[in-house]
Amino acid sequence: MRNVSLEKLYNHPIVQKYVRRSGMAHAIAVAEKAFEIAVQNKVDPDLAAKAGFLHDIGHYTWYRSNGEWDYQEYKQNDIHAIKGAARAHKLLVRCGEDLQNAKEIALAILLHTDSYLPDGQLKLSPLQYVVAKADQADELPGGKHHYRKIDGGTALARIQTLDQRINHYKLSNQIEKTVS
Ligand SMILES: [Fe+2]
C-alpha cells in the first residue's frame, strides 16, 4: 500500500547525513505532528509525515560560527527549502516512491517556510498547510529546536510507531471505503 516507509527513509545514509545536520529530534517531532494535523484535516498522513520528516533536509553547514547558527546571515542567504525539496525528491524517487507522491512531498517541503521568499501571500494547499503548521508547532525560540538530542534507539522506535499509525490509518480508511 505504501511503497516507501518512514523507516526506509530513516535508515538511508542521505537522511542520516542531512537530517541529522538540522536535528533528528526536530524532524521526528514534526513528522508526528504532521501526521496528527493531517488526520484532523483529512489530508494524506503518509505524505504529511514524510514531508514533515524531510522538511529540513536541505540545510547547509554554512552560516555557522563556533558550531552555532548565525541567524542573521542565515536569514539573508538561506535557500534550505529549495535545496531540501530537490534533495528529498531525488531520495524519494530512488527509494521507489510513487512519482506523484514524490512531487507533492517536494512541494510541501519547498513551501514549508516563506522566510526565503519575497513578501507576499502564499496560497498553500491543505498538505502544504499541514506541514508548515507542524513545523511551527515544534519551533523553539532562537532555533533551539535544531539542537534537541535524541538517541538512535528512541528515534528508530518513534519512526516505527509512526509507520504503524500511518498503516493502520490507511487500512481502516480503505475498509471504510469498501464498506460504504
Ligand atoms: Fe523545521
Domains of the chain: 6-179 (1.10.3210)
At 120 the pLDDT is 66
Question: Torsion angle of alpha carbons 80, 109, 161, 19, nearest 10°?
Answer: -10
C-alpha cell at position 60: 547547509
Q: How far is Cα of residue 20 from the mean position of the Cα atoms in its chain?
A: 13
Distances (CA, A) of 15 to 1, 6, 20: 23, 11, 7
Q: Which residues surround ligand 1, an ion (CB under 5 A)?
A: 56, 135
H/E segment holding residue 64: strand 64-65
Task: Give the lowest-confidence range in 35-49, 57-71, 90-104, 154-168.
Answer: 57-71
pLDDT tens for 15-56 read 999 999 889 999 999 999 999 999 999 999 999 999 999 999
pTM, two decimals, is 0.91
Ligand 1 centre distance from Cα of residue 164 (Å): 23
Express as a percent the part of the chain with pLDDT over 70. 93
At 62 the pLDDT is 62
C-alpha cell at position 16: 542520516
Q: Left if phi > 0, otherwise alpha if psi is -120 to 50, otherwise beta: which for 81?
A: alpha
Ligand 1 centre distance from Cα of residue 114 (Å): 12
At 93 the pLDDT is 98
Ligand 1 centre distance from Cα of residue 139 (Å): 7
Ligand 1 centre distance from Cα of residue 48 (Å): 14
Distance CA 120, CA 81 (A): 17
Ligand 1 centre distance from Cα of residue 99 (Å): 24
Residue with cell 480508511: 173
Q: Would you place residue 74 in the very low, low, confident or very high pLDDT band (cuts 50, 70, 90)?
A: confident
